[in-house]
Structure 1
């Protein structure tokens, strides 16, 4: 076996020395040099970065609950002045403030992944984080209530629980800001849509909503209408944010009218998703709601057809998957509109799931076309000559 010496620039060598012991491995035909201690690659957060805000909000909670209200000494888990609702509200506010502060800090210093996102991305990202925190907090609160019915804790124990919860949420949200990427935004959008629509289904006052149509969840007859509609509105905004990020960076390598056309069609698709929530299927907006919903399907068909010419370096496998999904959507429409086999609810659900799946595939494909953003340094492999014994 022949031995080689790896030569790297001096500044890179110094950085590797500061990282401690290093090793080298091959990853998909890539030569990777990295620290042996993988924790060196994780953003290191001091307690003050996530704990200061947690302490402040916890003190506000303690003062409010002890002297600002007539709350009992033993607080119930659910109900008025409940533990679960307090944790959900405070975690949501503290978490989004922590995320926004970390995002703004990266934009100002021009360091970190958030610097590649535009300032207009901040609002939909913050709203998505707030909605996800609220969904998870309320979901965990409901689960604990089912496991421990009638649970109550004294004010001081509750304060400690609030503090720990805020520290965890702040830590996770700051880490999220420092690891922001298209994949993270896709996951946020997925969780927000599935979580928001799922909560709207579970909390809907009419258990027979599915006998009408999927859009019934957003009408004034549904008690969960605001949850359903706001989920779609901000899902559309988050999708527009993702499209904006992907195509701004894609334009660095692929700048032509075809790519621009694909970008505007995807933005129109995002606007339609938001429009379905903005104009619910109430009598006042019924016609407009139906037109927006049908254009959502039309735009998807157009995108599937033209992606062959507008998407750079498109593969045959991606086209096969796209045409298969488009064909199933056409069949879904035929079975509903012509054969009358499917109900309106079934048609809307199938079309929504298939459209959402294809859009996620498209975003992941575009993400793979983007420049890696990794620092590339010159490396020279020098063979070591054997010394004569």
Structure 2
């Protein structure tokens, strides 16, 4: 058995966050050699306790003072403005967004962490989208708890302790999110936002037979969850545009042609239509505009699928085949709905929504892979330093 010495070029070490001195370890992961510090804490984001605990304590003290001044002795789990759920949702959202923005700015100024890969114009959309997901998640959690523990109340001391713990956890999650940001995480945020928002709107819209109308009913004034549904679409569109901006700024460094620009603006149009569907809900005053935007959303998606091989020739053939298959299925659905009358409007919209979302996420995944494959390749030497057979001789 032979032993080897690995010689790493200096420029490779300068472009990593691995300490230049100190013990390193090597492990085999998926048939690849991975070199990392012996003490992984040196490269794992370090989040100091005071960053997320002190704001939580300050908020708890502020809430306690207000409750005490209002002579409130029992805090309900949900319901009025002074309920535990509303307090944690409001203050948790504000503190979480603030923690995300401050961490991002700090990382950007110090030129550390993944934040330096993103431009300043991406900060606000990502922060607002992350905050909206956070608020929806907390709100949905307390909605479920209120269904399970209806009428539950807490004394102000217990309530303030729960508020402090909850906000500390929220701050930690948002700080960690800002310190580990990546295109994959933005894609996941977009997926969570649109799926979670739509599902939550279905559960809380107040009408069990909403599906007898159409999918857009969830955003109309008759739905009890119209605000959540419409905000979900608006911020998903904004987040999608942010992700497109990041991906194509990096793609243009390698592929310099007009086709990349066409792809970019078509995807921007797709994001704008998605946000427009939420911005102009299917109410009477916006009905025509809503329908036109919805149709353009479908048109742009089909155009992208058809011309994908010409505007993005570097995309994989497997994805092209899958795209054509999904496009054919969408066309078959349209025929089954429009001409055969086999599918209802709601079924057609839900199936098209699922296919369109799946295809878009797969496209972003492939674009992200193209960016990652554009990394600089450097020579690494493996030098034999010992043969076991030599020792035996």
> What interval of TM-score do these two structures reach, taking the shorter chain for normalisation?
over 0.9
Matched residues in 2 for 1:376 and 1:9: separation?
11
- Residue in 2 aligned with 1:217? 218
CA contact (8 A) 1:254 1:312 kept: no
- Residue in 2 aligned with 1:5? 5
Correspondences of 1:61-72 after superposition (within 5 Å) = 61-67=63-69, 69-70=70-71, 72=72
- Residue in 1 aligned with 2:183? 182
- Matched positions, count: 387
Compared CA separation, residues 377 and 74, structure 1 to 2 (3 A): farther
> Over residues 238-295 of structure 1, what are the superposed CA-to-partner deviations in whole Å (9 max), with x where a residue is unaligned?
0000000000011111121111111110000000001101111112111111111111
Matched residues in 1 for 2:301 and 2:201: separation?
25
Q: Secondary structure at the match of 1:223?
A: coil
* Deviation (angstroms), 1:38: 4.1
Q: Secondary structure at the match of 2:93?
A: helix
Correspondences of 1:260-279 after superposition (within 5 Å) = 260-279=261-280
Compared CA separation, residues 109 and 375, structure 1 to 2 (3 A): farther
CA contact (8 A) 1:95 1:170 kept: yes
Correspondences of 1:254-333 after superposition (within 5 Å) = 254-333=255-334
Q: Secondary structure at the match of 2:284?
A: coil
CA contact (8 A) 2:241 2:268 kept: yes
Compared CA separation, residues 85 and 177, structure 1 to 2 (3 A): same
- Residue in 1 aligned with 2:86? 85
* Deviation (angstroms), 1:27: 4.1
* Deviation (angstroms), 1:359: 0.1
Matched residues in 1 for 2:337 and 2:83: separation?
46
Matched residues in 1 for 2:353 and 2:359: separation?
10
CA contact (8 A) 1:96 1:129 kept: yes
Matched residues in 1 for 2:251 and 2:52: separation?
34
Correspondences of 1:196-215 after superposition (within 5 Å) = 196-215=197-216
> Over residues 343-378 of structure 1, what are the superposed CA-to-partner deviations in whole Å (9 max), with x where a residue is unaligned?
111111111110000000000000001146978765
Matched residues in 1 for 2:369 and 2:6: separation?
29
Q: CA RMSD in A?
A: 2.4
- Residue in 2 aligned with 1:47? 49
Compared CA separation, residues 15 and 181, structure 1 to 2 (3 A): closer
Compared CA separation, residues 91 and 15, structure 1 to 2 (3 A): closer
1:168 maps onto 2:176 in alignment: no
Matched residues in 2 for 1:225 and 1:148: separation?
26
CA contact (8 A) 1:75 1:154 kept: yes
CA contact (8 A) 2:254 2:374 kept: no
TM norm structure 1: 0.92
Q: Which runs of 5+ in 2 are unaligned?
A: none
* Deviation (angstroms), 1:149: 3.1
- Residue in 1 aligned with 2:135? 134
* Deviation (angstroms), 1:93: 0.8
Q: Which runs of 5+ in 1 are unaligned?
A: none
* Deviation (angstroms), 1:165: 0.8
Compared CA separation, residues 191 and 338, structure 1 to 2 (3 A): same
CA contact (8 A) 1:16 1:35 kept: yes
Matched residues in 2 for 1:29 and 1:258: separation?
37
Q: Secondary structure at the match of 1:370?
A: helix
- Residue in 2 aligned with 1:98? 99
* Deviation (angstroms), 1:297: 0.8
Compared CA separation, residues 19 and 210, structure 1 to 2 (3 A): farther
- Residue in 1 aligned with 2:351? 350
Matched residues in 2 for 1:30 and 1:183: separation?
22
Matched residues in 1 for 2:280 and 2:229: separation?
12
TM norm structure 2: 0.91
Matched residues in 2 for 1:342 and 1:8: separation?
61
* Deviation (angstroms), 1:9: 5.5
* Deviation (angstroms), 1:231: 1.0
Matched residues in 2 for 1:325 and 1:342: separation?
17
Matched residues in 2 for 1:180 and 1:196: separation?
22
Compared CA separation, residues 146 and 225, structure 1 to 2 (3 A): closer
CA contact (8 A) 1:336 1:344 kept: yes
